[in-house]
Structures are given as C-alpha cells and as structure tokens.
Chain A
Amino acid sequence: MTPTATPRAGGVEGAWPTTPRERSWGPLAVFGLSVSTAVATWCFLIGGYVAYYLPAASGTLVMIAGGLVGILLIFLALVPVGTRYGVDSIVSTKPQLGERGSYLALLIAYITLIGWNTVLLIFLGRAAAEILITLGVLGEGARQAVMVVSGLVGVAVVWWLLRGGPERMRNVGPWIASLVILLGIWIFVLLVKEVGWSNLMDARPSAAAPDKLWNYTTGFELLVVSALSWWPYVGGMARQASGGVRRALWPALVGLSLPLSIVSVVGLLAGLAVPDSGGDPTTFLVDLGGVASGIPALLFIVLANIGTVMVGLYAVTLGVRQVPAIQRHQSWSGTLLLSLVPVAAIIVLIPNTFFDNVDTLLAFMGVVFAPMCGMQIADYYLLRRQRLDVRSLFVAGGAYRFWGGVNPAGVLALASGFVTYLLLLDPVNYTSNSPYEYISASLPSAFVAAVVYLLVTRLVVIPAGKGGYPSAQAAERPVVPAAGGSAAPPA
C-alpha cells in the first residue's frame, strides 16, 4: 500500500488538492469504486425506460453504445485533470466558471448527489421492507414504517463507514462491487430461466413511438444521460487515483461504462418481460422466482445502494467543504452529517412523493451535465493545453478570478447548452423537435456549449487578459486560504 499522509481538516478530507503521496487508489481500487458507483438501482430503472421504446436485441446494443459515448465525455472532462492536480469535479470547474462561478457547479452537484442518495436510500428501505415482509417477520401494514426506518439505518451505516475518511470507502467498495456483479448475473439468469430466452427476445416495447429512428435515438440518449450523471462522482475518484492518468484510464473507463450498460440490460429485459415493473426487480422477483430468488435480489439492491451512496456522500461532502465556514468549523465527520441531514429529512417526510418523481431528477441532470462536459473539454484541451494554474484553483484572487469571481464565457456556455437541450428534447415528458431523432440531445448540447465557450473566450476573455490563458499575465496575489477554493475575496 502506498503511504498515506494523515488526513487533516484541510487535507485529504477537505477540498484542498490531494498530493501524490496521498493518492493511494491503485487500478483495482479505481475499477472497484467505478463499478460500485455505476452498479446501482437506477440502472434497472434506466433499462426499464429503454424497454418502453426498444426490444431486447437492438436495445442492448444501443445501451452499450450510449453508455460508452457518455462515459467518453465524463472521462475527458474530469479524469485527466483530477488525476494530475488532485482535484474533484467541482474544483475542476474553476478555470471555466471562475472562483465564485464554480459555486454554480457546487449547487448542481449538491442537488444531484442529495437527490441520488435519497433515491437510493429510499429504494434501500423499500427493499429491506420487502425482505422482512416476505420472510414474515413483519406484516404488510408495517411496510411504510419499516421503509422509513430502514432508510434511516442506511443513512447511519453510510455515515459510520465513511466517518474515518475515504480509506474505508476504498476498502469496502471493491467488495461490494464484486458482490453486486455476481448478484446482477444471478438476476439475469433467473429472468432467462423463468421467462425464457426466446420470449425475452420477442417481447415488444410497451410504449414505442411510430418512428423507429426516434425510439432508437431515445434509447441512446437515455444511456448517455445516465452516464453523464456520474459527473459529481468521477472527480472524487480521480483525485485519489495513484500513478497518474494512464493507470486510471482503463479501470475508470471500463468500470464506469460496462457495468452501467450490463445492469441496465437486466432492467431492459425485466421491463420487456414485466412491462408494469418499469425494470424494478423488487416488484416481480419474489413472484417470479419465489422467496429463494427474491431475497437475494433484494439484498442486491441493499448492498449496491450502500456502495453507491458511500461514493456519492464522499463527493457531496467534499463539495460542501468548499464553503469556507464549514471547512473551518466542521470536522469531516460533522460535514458528513450535514450532507446526510436533507437525505434523512426527505426519507422521513416525503419518501413516496420524492421516489415517484425520479424522472424529474434525471431530467435535471441531463440538461446540466452535457454542457458542463463540453465546456470543460473545450477549455482544458483546446485553450489551456492541459495546463492549469494549481495555485489559482485554491488561492483567492488568482488567474481564475475573471470578473468578480465569475467567468461569463462559462455561464453563457452552460446557458446555451441548456437551451439547446431543451429545444431538441423536453426531458420531462420526452417530446422532441427535429433534428433530435438524428443527433440526439446531449451531444449537440455539449457541442454548442463548447463552441460558445471557445468563441466568448477567444473574443472577450483572452483579449481582456483574464483567466490565466497563455497570453494573459496572471498577477501575483498574497495567499488567502479559501477553504479549498475561492470563496474569500482577494486581499
């Protein structure tokens, strides 16, 4: 094991960059964490959505393709910069959005991660309740209460596992990933055995549109968006990877993309076999395969969700610690609790309302992360030539100050990508405008954001000498520790 520096409030567990000595995750750990991030209950729901539009064979190929393309955007935007400079997803947006503008990324990531963590823990609670009721430990009348209590127990378990820092996550993640992959295969075998391979292959999508191309593109788009939803997670993993980007390359690419597609295919098959399930195995596996098969499937959901919430909680806590007051006055363990309070509140107060509106959460992520990736890729590769001023990432008043801490190029790029997405596809009810069926929505959204960012930067930002681009001379400023970033105004 690589020696690891003692974590401190402002160190590994804060939002300051990880030093090479602290980056202790080898390729196996990166792969394991990537898999345990990707393999989550939402994969079943994603596959279930695809089952509305595509049959098994073509749907499987489309989903693998969409997952790979989505991961390309995420990888290029986050992994090289994260492994090189030891920064998470939110800090990596400072060169594009500015010191204060990156709070927009923090807000987006916070909402996303809180949302996903809540969904997963409610799902965990539902699965646990189903287990107890199926085994006859409790009656049907206790379902709601058991679900809430189980979700809260999940909150406590995740806090306990992570309270000692990310090392625990590294140790637990690969084990969970291995287990959930095996259980995912089990669910697949059960579906084939009980429903029949030919029946699965012949099953028709339940809500396909008349236009075959539209169905095809929508299946592709669903997987691209799903892969993009890893944005807040990936930076948190990349900053802990040891040995540079080349060691993390394939573990991250393969670990994030293939498990997503493979487990989503299980959801696709489930959605085709049992259209009313929407891909959710908890609704049919006990009926389909009996208690002996249903209980392991429910355990699959519980374990997979614990692993994913751990990674998500780590990422959101890193983000929250960029707020200077929290960085200075809260311990890592205390910040974890702060990140979990809204999750626990939703689980107690509105679990069913929240869970029934997951599609709104998905919609939110699709329209924000595609342009975010396009903007980051354009900036890091085309404008900055893969060189950042690491000091300006963490010291207020540096090269990424722009105008009042905000880079208008980044804000305009995000807005233009956002509008582009909405013009092509309404992600809430999936109504579209041509040429969506030919070009999808996420990819053009990322492309437009990249082009707008390049144009505004070339025409306005660089001529103004802002942003620390090669032609600009960044002024030296005194050091003002800004809690991992930028909140403090220049001295």
Chain B
Amino acid sequence: MRMDVEELEARLAEVAADAAQATTLTRRDYALIYLVTLVVPAILLFVGWHL
C-alpha cells in the first residue's frame, strides 16, 4: 500500500511537471484542424448536394 502511494505520488509529480511545460496546439494548428474538419466537409456537402 505504501509503495502504491509513493509510486502514485511520483507518477503524478512527473506527469504534472511535464504537463505544465507541454506544448499545446497553436492558433495555426486549430485553424488547420477547422479547415480540414469543417470547411472541407462544408465544401464536400455543397458539391454533393448539387451532383
């Protein structure tokens, strides 16, 4: 039990430290994501409707 507590604490500390400095998605990343997953589908739906 004690080992579990120590291991969990060590693990959480490592994850928290990494998360604090982890890179996140940039505005450019989000712009590309939305381009691919929203704008492209909108175009596909428009084209498909007029086929």
Contacts and interface: CB of A to CB of B under 8 A. Distances in A.
Contacts of A64: 41, 44
Interface in B1-38: 1, 4-5, 7-9, 11-12, 14-16, 18-19, 22-25, 29, 33-34, 36-38
A172 interface: no
Contacts of A65: 40-42, 44-45, 48
B15 A86 contact: yes
Contacts of A85: 15, 19
Contact of B41 (A19, A59, A68, A84): A68
Nearest to B17: A20
A67 B11 CA distance: 36
A213 to B, nearest CB: 9
Interface in A319-364: none
A405 interface: no
B41 to A, nearest CB: 4
B25 A57 contact: no
Interface string A110-128: 0000000000000000000
A120 B14 CA distance: 38
A386 B22 CA distance: 11
Contact of B12 (A17, A59, A244): A17
A159 interface: no
Contacts of A71: 37
A249 B11 contact: no
A19 B5 contact: no
A481 B45 contact: no
B33 A253 contact: yes
Contact of A57 (B4, B29, B51): B51
A75 interface: yes
B47 to A, nearest CB: 6
Contacts of B38: 68-69, 72
A17 B48 contact: no
A471 interface: no
A216 B40 CA distance: 17
Contact of A68 (B8, B40, B48): B40
Number of contact residues on B: which range applies? 20 to 34
Contacts, number: 107
A62 interface: yes
Contacts of B49: 58, 216
A65 B44 CA distance: 6
A44 interface: no
B15 A66 contact: no
Contacts of B14: 19-21
Contacts of B9: 479
Given A68-B37, A220-B45, A249 B15 contact: no
B37 A481 contact: no
Nearest to B25: A245
A61 B36 contact: no
A80 B33 CA distance: 13
Contact of A17 (B4, B15, B42): B15
Nearest to A23: B18
A10 B25 contact: no
Given A61-B44, A80-B24, A394-B12, A68 B18 contact: no
A395 interface: yes
Contact of A62 (B4, B5, B37, B44): B44
Contact of B22 (A16, A58, A244, A481): A244
Contact of A391 (B4, B5, B12): B12
Contacts of A479: 5, 8-9
Contacts of B16: 390-391
A19 B29 CA distance: 25
Contact of A216 (B29, B33, B36, B48): B48
B45 A246 contact: no
B36 to A, nearest CB: 7
Given A17-B12, A245-B24, A390-B16, 8 more contacts: A16-B8, A19-B18, A65-B42, A68-B38, A245-B22, A249-B33, A394-B12, A479-B9
Interface of B: 1, 4-5, 7-9, 11-12, 14-16, 18-19, 22-25, 29, 33-34, 36-38, 40-42, 44-45, 47-49, 51
For the complex of A and B, 6 pairs with smallest distance between CB atoms: A61-B48, A65-B41, A72-B37, A58-B48, A65-B44, A61-B44
Interface of A: 8, 10-11, 16-21, 57-62, 64-66, 68-69, 71-72, 75, 80, 83-86, 216, 220, 244-246, 249, 253, 257, 386, 388, 390-391, 394-395, 479, 481
12 contacts: A10-B7, A68-B38, A71-B37, A80-B25, A84-B24, A85-B15, A244-B23, A246-B25, A249-B33, A390-B15, A394-B8, A479-B8
